[in-house]
Amino acid sequence: MENTEYGIIDAEPRNLLPETKLLIVPHKAGKLVVRYPAFGPNNYSANVLEMQKDHYHSVLFHKISFSPATTSESVSASAYKFGEMAKKEIFNPSWLQLGLIARTSEGVFANPPKDENGNPIFDEETLKSYLNGVKRIEGICLVPDTNNLHDFGFAPYETFKQGIQDSGDFAESGLARLLEHSEGKVAENLREISSQKFYRKGVNVFDFDQVKEPILRVAYLYSCRNSFVDNGFHINGDNSVYDRYGYAFGVRNVNAEGVVPKN
């Protein structure tokens, strides 16, 4: 028997990538695939760095990475079986980092685009330029997706109020509809999440104050358990990417090995 090769044959290395589960949830007219559980708890910047690393799910999905969820995608991921999952696993013990916003002199922009270096744009005049020709829907602007825009939109301060309010009023506000990127009169998922079924003392919106110079922030959602509004739902708009620890959803990248498009 002829054999032209002799010697040791090295073993193939095992896959040493961190293992992860995937969660598929309804989102707008399609499906959304996110990492489960959410990344964290850490500050938003650290969570984003972690989700950009390679992960292992299965032989079919053997090398995948994730991108930060938009505010709308985070809402969809949270709303799926909210009482059984996100409320217990994220909201009660910690905070959900919903996504990036830019607070300006006239209102709030959600999911700002990035410049050529990959940094979020929060210059007010540049952000306003993306609204040219976009029709306002119930007082807010929701910009159609492009290569550089995803769930981008704008809500003037006069379209929402701060402070403690009813879940229904909050869901109809410009802020809720902006964050959910909802073209209807109501942000349905946020209405369900913040409903009396889960939070009998309503919604508390705070730290969305008008500013003279634009600032980049992370919108946070969480359950309140130990203050005068105990058992309330909070939404905060004044944390930087390096501030408070919490959890962030990562959306499966569509160009990862072994992965097919999410829609």
Does residue 175 contact residue 190 with C-beta atoms inside 8 Å? no
Cα distance between residue 76 and residue 78, in whole Å: 5
* Count of the separate structural domains present in the chain: 1
The answer to whether residue 166 sits within a structural domain is yes
d(CA 36, CA 32): 12
The answer as to whether 70 is a domain residue is yes
Find all residues with CB under 8 Å of 49, minimum gap 6, and list them. none
CA-CA-CA-CA torsion sign (145, 151, 153, 158)? positive
Is residue 6 one of the residues assigned to a domain? no
pLDDT given for residue 224 in this prediction = 74
pTM, two decimals, is 0.90
**What pLDDT is recorded for position 261?**
40
- Whole-number pLDDT of residue 258: 44
Instruction: List phi, psi (to 5°) of 241.
Output: -70, -15
Question: How much is the pLDDT for 13?
Answer: 60
Residue 4 included in any domain: no
- Tell me whether residue 261 is in a domain: no
Closest CA to 208 of 114, 98, 125, 103: 103
Which amino acid appears at position 214 of this protein?
P
What is the β-pairing status of strands 95-103 and 66-68? unpaired
Distance CA 22, CA 34 (A): 6
User: Is 7 inside a domain boundary?
Assistant: no
5 domain residue, yes or no:
no
Phi/psi at 233 (nearest 5 deg)?
-105, 125
Within-domain flag for 84: yes
Tokens of 253: 């990248």
H-state helical runs in 36-119:
44-51, 71-79, 86
Q: Which domain holds residue 87?
A: 21-252
SS (H, E, C) 179-226: HHCCCCCCCHHHHHHCCCCCCCCCEEEECCCCCCCCEEEEEEEEEECC
What does the pLDDT read at residue 19?
87
Q: Which residues does the chain have with pLDDT short of 50?
A: 1, 228-229, 256-263
Backbone angles phi, psi at 98, to 5 degrees: -70, -40
Contact 131, 143 (CB under 8 A): yes
pLDDT at residue 192, rounded to an integer: 97
